Chain A
Amino acid sequence: MPVSRYNIWSLIGQALRGHGGWTPAWRDPEPANHYDVIIVGGGGHGLATAFYLAKNHNVGRIAVLEKGYLGSGNIGRNTTIVRSNYMLPGNSRMYEKSLQLWHQLSQELNFNVMFSARGVINLAHSDAQVDAYVRRGNSMRLEGIDAEWLTRADLAKELPYINLDPNMRFPVYGGLVQRRGGNARHDAVAWGFARGADMMGVDLIQNCEVTGFRRTGGRVTHVETTRGLIGCGKLGLAVAGNTSVLGEKLGLRLPIESHVLQAFISESVKPMIDHVVTYGAGHFYISQTNKGGLILGGDIDMYNSYAQRGNLPTVDHVLTAGLAMVPQLSRLRMLRSWGGIMDMTMDGSPIIDKAPLDNVYLNAGWCYGGFKATPGSGWCFAHTIAEDAPHAFNAELSLSRFETGHLLDEGGKGPTPNLH
């Protein structure tokens, strides 16, 4: 059944018919025997990759294999923050491309992803942190990315609810704001990319877990799945926290550890927090959803984990930082918490590169930061697969950088994946 474009006329037409005529937003095809490109992972990055492969490149038949249902992993488990406020050009060029795609994504997908450029504010709590943030802002501006410094007086006007008491343990000195950043509706991003890719003929195959690969030398010829053997011309992996598991089946050893990151949503309240705000003396970030819930998160649980749930000491740690910044959070009830599996790299930056095999490509290592990268990651990964070489935007996000020493360590923390 052909999927129709959404517009005011289809909405009025459906309203007059009691909304009984809407068709499924994408097909549910049986897997074919062979595809020119197979993307493993039907999350945000995999679906975006398939979308941009179909839209920007001529690579033949494309399939996305997903072991559960579309968008059942981290794309549905994040805190929906979108920004490009990175210091190192090797990172910021890809993230800025992503942010530019975000700003016109609803039009491009013909699907409302509810992107809201409400601004992302990072608070600083010491002279040293002010210096570091101003330096980062200057690095961003040299790359043509917007950054602005806010003094305590500015913050008192923009964020009347934060604790600006100069006698608190970590007083707020100021903040760096990226006005073009903000947040989006996470599920809609997955659904929009899925529908867009399906409309261009991409087969989205759900409940199809990859169990192995068949190789001839360095070339993967077939993917073994729970829905049978599928031949492939090129293979792209976009499986986040499970990258090491599939990589092992390909004989790859990777600079990645999997860790669980928790997120939390409060009960709904009236509009209270207008921006995305982060606390700099610990690790805490908060914004308000369109339904009114406060969505917030902090550190990972710190130990290797493939469980999509975390532990109580981290809940306590995250909310302690939150209360220091926004004391009135103590009056709110948390509705839900959940966990997602982060593919933490050894320098805290992602990998979009060709794997050391003839026809395998790797999109991994997103640490905490995968959601904001969704369109840019898909755009760059599609280019890398189609052209068999990285785009300038992701040239430095290489797998070999760990061996050659060209690390992209924004935080200067060294090879300690749980601290990035």
Chain B
Amino acid sequence: MITLNCPYCGPRSHDEFRYVGDATKIAPPLDAGAEAHFDYVYLRDNPRGQHVEYWQHIHGCRAFVKVLRDTVSHAVLATGLPADTLSAAEEGR
């Protein structure tokens, strides 16, 4: 069981959440060109280790929660709001 610390509701079991996916992907401007959009839609770093990702608390407050989690141990290292920066992987994107 993974426990996620929702910023509004506190610690909750992960089956109250929907997994959204990689939080490092940010939509490029519409005129950014095909390559940037291809990267955004299809390419993933898929790290073995620390992964920053979104979950949505669909059976709670419905907020989007940003989570830094280890993909090998499943340990949750940090949680925050979507605007928070949780890991170095998000810098410069």
Contacts and interface: CB of A to CB of B under 8 A. Distances in A.
Nearest to B53: A304
Given A304-B53, A403-B38, A258 B45 contact: no
B48 to A, nearest CB: 5
Contacts of A242: 48
Contacts of B51: 304
A304 B19 CA distance: 9
Interface string B25-44: 00000000000001101111
Given A305-B74, A307-B73, A313-B14, A254 B46 contact: yes
A306 B38 CA distance: 25
A346 B42 contact: yes
A272 interface: no
B74 A256 contact: no
The A interface, classified by DSSP as helix, strand, loop or mixed, is mixed
Interface residues of B, number: 26
A86 interface: no
The B interface, classified by DSSP as helix, strand, loop or mixed, is mixed
A132 B83 CA distance: 42
A103 to B, nearest CB: 36
Contacts of B47: 244
A257 B44 contact: yes
A311 B42 contact: no
A68 interface: no
A255 B71 contact: no
Question: What is the interface residue range for chain A against chain B?
Answer: 20 to 34
Contacts of A335: none
A292 interface: no
B31 to A, nearest CB: 19
A336 to B, nearest CB: 19
A245 interface: yes
Contacts of B73: 307
Interface in B14-70: 14-15, 19, 21-22, 38-39, 41-48, 51, 53, 55, 69
A256 B44 contact: yes
B78 interface: no
Given A242-B48, A258-B48, A403-B38, 18 more contacts: A244-B47, A244-B48, A248-B45, A253-B39, A254-B46, A255-B43, A257-B22, A305-B72, A306-B48, A306-B72, A307-B72, A311-B14, A312-B1, A313-B1, A313-B13, A313-B14, A415-B41, A418-B21
9 contacts: A257-B22, A257-B44, A258-B48, A303-B55, A304-B46, A307-B72, A311-B14, A415-B41, A418-B19
Interface of A: 242, 244-245, 248, 253-258, 302-307, 311-313, 346, 402-403, 415-418
